[in-house]
Amino acid sequence: MAAGAARAVPWQRVPAGDDAVSVAERAALGTSARLVVWPPENLGVACGVVDDVLAALDRQASRFRPDSELSWLNAAGGGLFLLGDGLAEAIAVALAAARWTGGLTDPTVADALVSLGYDRDFAVIDEDSEPLGAAVPAPGWPLVRLDGPLLRLPRGIRLDLGATAKGLGADRAVRAVMSATGEHGGALVSLGGDIAVAGTPPLDGWPVTVAEEPDPDGAPCGQLVRLAAGAVATSSVTVRRWQRGGAALHHIVDPRTGRPADGPWRTVTVAAATCADANAASTAAIVAGATAEDWLVATGLPARLTGHDGRVRGLNCWPGPEVAGGPIPVPAGSRVYAGGPR
């Protein structure tokens, strides 16, 4: 733990515009992490514990790090394994998400991603260097059996925890911050735009912007909302795109087909009790395609969907655009992560 923290990229303080909170950012997990706390003097302690959480998660669950526990597991060729607590929890959350979403997210999708060329850090994917191979549908999460720390992984199945791990990391981090600060004040942790909050929120909630991407000229865009508890996460097919065999690909794969999801929604934002829930639900909605609205309505989770034609749809009391800073009514209770922030 200490070694991982020692290698961590330093946090950079970010002007917050409000003296009541402190904000810091750093690169992490192939994206960036943002930490916001109040009272401001909690920032130093909070940065340290978030470093530890991120280092541990990377060591446990990264598919791109050859010395991670997950990489070792995937290379072992199947069998019965006794897992460390962290990886066991990460796989349990991924399997719970798969069960909840009816397989719209599926941790056995790793080989589908590799077949599409997403087998290395996104920054070094070769553009169109090879033809697109045959589709590799996910073998199916029910084949993976986890009983506490004991994992039975059939031969030929490799795992990818991309639909839940970043959200889980935000949940773990924000919980660790509150524990380290004696549950005093409040905290927000964002990992690549997947956001979890805990503790006592600012008056009316944490002000958070919901956006697909900023405009090319850097102009402000998106919707301002308020998050008093829980989490919010966004999935989109507009980023992490590459070409292979002349086909435009992206990183959200439909486990049923082994091909990138091609539904009518390009970006989905979901709020939930935990970031693991929100992360799984937003990914599942992209994969669900034409049935995304029905599935999200059934979950009761507030959601914002943006179609390829630019139309925006709010579900389950997602705040309307006419009220700047409208509160997100986050239902209590997690479907995938019992250890989430409280």
* Binding positions for other proteins, 157-186, rule CB under 8 A: 161-162, 165-166, 169, 185-186
* Residue 187 near other proteins by CB under 8 A: no
304-333: contacts with other proteins (CB under 8 A) = 317, 326-333
Q: CB nearer to other proteins: give 52 or 58.
A: 58
Candidate list 207, 289, 314, 339; residue touching other proteins; CB under 8 A: 207
The residue range among 101-109, 134-142, 237-245, 257-265 that interacts with other proteins, by the rule CB under 8 A, is 237-245
Spell out, one character per residue from 53 to 92, where the chain touches other proteins: x when CB under 8 A holds, - when not. ----xxxxxxxxx-xxx--xx--x--xxxxxx--x-----
The answer to whether the CB of 272 falls within 8 A of the CB of 332 is no
The answer to whether the CB of 295 falls within 8 A of the CB of 289 is no
Query: Smallest distance, Å, CB 92 to other proteins?
Result: 14
108-167: contacts with other proteins (CB under 8 A) = 120-123, 147-148, 150, 161-162, 165-166
* Residue 52 near other proteins by CB under 8 A: no
Total of residues contacting other proteins (CB under 8 A): 115
For tokens 């905290």, the residue is 187
Q: CB nearer to other proteins: give 49 or 165.
A: 165
**3-state SS track over 17-75:** CCCCCEEEEEEECCEEEEEEEECHHHHHHHHHHHHHHHHHHHHHHCCCCCCCHHHHHHH
Of 162, 159, 120, nearest to 287 (Cα)? 162
Torsion angles phi and psi, residue 154, rounded to 5:
-60, 150
Q: What is the DSSP string of 254-277?
A: ETTTTEE---SEEEEEEEESSHHH
Q: CB nearer to other proteins: give 101 or 235.
A: 235
Candidate list 269, 276, 285, 318; residue touching other proteins; CB under 8 A: 269
Distance, CA of 31 to CA of 275 (rounded, Å): 16
Query: Smallest distance, Å, CB 197 to other proteins?
Result: 8
* Helices 275-288/85-100 angle, 10° precision: 40
Of 233, 100, 238, nearest to 168 (Cα)? 233
Burial class (CB in 10 A: 0-12, 13-18, 19+), 161: buried
Query: Smallest distance, Å, CB 310 to other proteins?
Result: 15
Overall residue count recorded for the chain in this entry:
342
Q: CB nearer to other proteins: give 48 or 329.
A: 329
Spell out, one character per residue from 32 to 51, where the chain touches other proteins: x when CB under 8 A holds, - when not. x-x-x-x-------------
Query: Smallest distance, Å, CB 135 to other proteins?
Result: 21
Candidate list 100, 141, 206, 265; residue touching other proteins; CB under 8 A: 206
Query: Smallest distance, Å, CB 103 to other proteins?
Result: 19
Torsion angles phi and psi, residue 309, rounded to 5:
-90, 5
Candidate list 137, 154, 222, 339; residue touching other proteins; CB under 8 A: 222
Candidate list 107, 117, 193, 260; residue touching other proteins; CB under 8 A: 193
Burial class (CB in 10 A: 0-12, 13-18, 19+), 204: exposed
Rg (CA), the chain: 19
